[in-house]
Structure 1
Amino acid sequence: MPVKLNAMAFDHAKKLTEEGRIVLDDRDEWSEHRPSAADENAYLEEHGFNEYARWYLGIGDEMGEETKGRYKFPYGDFERVHRCGVLAAEVRAGQQKYADIQNATAHLHGLLDGRQAGNR
């Protein structure tokens, strides 16, 4: 089953961006900024899967609801939206032909670049 857009996560990312809870970093920085498995586990233990899901723009049906593997396309560090995470998700969604996720990440990318332009 293909991965579909997690509308709840998309809305969460837009809200965080509007609030300025963002990091305007470059795409190449995602490998350093993305949460580690230990960070994910700690967040899950403290907040549960419902909150965890808000940080992943894609949901796959091949895994159970309370499994980390169900959630795809992370975009932040459980506190802020990272531009590098959005860009990485946008590229991967395009490669895997998930148009709804690619469109959502392109929208977020535009919002973040608008914020970045405003800071110049």
Structure 2
Amino acid sequence: MSVRLSRRSYEHARKLIENGAVVLDERDDWSAHQPSTRQENEFISEHGFNEYQKWYLGISEDDDEDDRKRYRFPYGDFKRVHLCGVLAAESRAGQYKYFDIEWAVAHLHGMLDALISTK
């Protein structure tokens, strides 16, 4: 399976962080904060896959563009970047050796850490 970084999604996440659209939650909060399947389907219905894919840092080259499983490594709730989502993505990218995704997520993590240190 070939999964690569979505530069578009990475830039979207960076802009959200720069604009303060973040939730500085705890590492273990992601299971409660990540969008449910129902929320994902509603978002796709309202905004389409073009907007949906902005919330996932990885793209599986093996899956169809209009298939939710094409998009990997979520980092937010369709409104804000969640620290817990970034941490989960960073861990999984490292585990599966997706180095381009791991690098991008580490950069987002650093941006969020900088926000924490100013609070």
Under a length normalisation based on structure 1, what TM-score does the superposition of the two structures give? 0.98
- What is the deviation of 1:50? 0.3
* Cα offset, 1:62, TM superposition: 1.2
Q: Which residue of 1 aligns with 2:54?
A: 54
Deviation, 1:75, is: 0.1
Partner of 2:96: 96
Which residue of 1 is the match for residue 9 of structure 2? 9
Q: Secondary structure at the match of 2:65?
A: coil
CA RMSD of aligned residues (A): 0.5
Q: Give the unaligned 5+ runs of structure 2.
A: none
Name the amino acid aligned to 2:51: E
The number of aligned residues is 119
For 1:43, the aligned partner's letter is F
Rounded to whole Å, the distance in 2 between the matches of 1:65 and 1:16 is 24
% identity of equivalent residues: 57
Runs of 4+ residues over 2 Å off in structure 1: none
Cα deviation code 1:43-77 (max 9, x no counterpart): 00000000000000000011101100100000000
